[in-house]
Homo-oligomer: A and B are copies of this chain.
Amino acid sequence: MKFAEGKDKFIQSWGVIGSNWGINRTMAQIHALLLIAPESLSAEDVMQDLQISRGNANMNLRELIDWGLVYKELKPGERKEYFYAEKDMWDVVKKVIKRRKKKELEPMVKVLNELDNIEETTPEAEEFKKVLKDIKLFSAKADSTLDRLVNSENNWFVGTFMKMIK
């Protein structure tokens, strides 16, 4: 396969995968583009390469920076800003997990904690309390497990799961 073909396919696919991940398609494409770029790129480069508007490029670049997946670089003597991606995949994975945890898990834990102390003892209320208790158990567990995963060093994941999968 030719590089140019592979590159296009990768960027397109990363966009599709991103949207399955609940991530804006363009954001994922910019990420893909920067991931495989050996040098940092300007907003202009990104716009041209992906054929998107200035506003769109700007918005999604900033979102990527906010996620910690992309960094700004200022080249001496140039006014333009350049962007490059975090290339340490373990770091990327950790940052994505952190984001998703915040978005997907933490609101759940929060709501569950607000739903305590139901007074009634009707069958409905009892069932409700039971379900809540179960969900709490799992979400608390998932929450702390992910924390541990995210705060662990590279080798833990690689090492542990290498063994797990033989």
Contact of A9 among B6, B115, B125, B158 (CB under 8 A): B115
Complex CA distance for A135 and B140, rounded to whole angstroms:
29
| Contact status A124-B17, CB under 8 Å | no
Residues of A in contact (CB 8 Å), total 56
Interface string of A107-119 (1 = CB under 8 A from B): 1100100111111
Tell me the A35-83 residues at the B interface (CB within 8 Å): 35-38
B contact residues around A145 at 8 Å (CB): 161, 164-165
- Contact yes or no, A134 B38, CB < 8 A: no
Name the B residues within 8 Å of A124 (CB-CB): 3, 7, 36-38
In the assembled complex, the Cα of A98 lies from the Cα of B145 at a distance in Å of 18
Main secondary structure of the interface of A (DSSP, over half): helix
B-chain residues with CB within 8 Å of residue A21 when the two chains form the complex: 22, 104
Q: Cβ of B107 and Cβ of A16 under 8 Å apart? A: yes
> Which residues does chain B contribute within 8 Å of A111, judged by CB atoms?
9-10, 13, 17
* Most chain B CB within a 10 A radius of its CB, from A6, A93, A116, A148: A6
In contact, B141 and A158 (Cβ under 8 angstroms): yes
Can you offer 10 A-B residue contacts whose CB atoms are under 8 A?
A: A1-B118, A7-B128, A13-B107, A17-B108, A36-B124, A36-B127, A141-B161, A144-B165, A145-B161, A148-B165
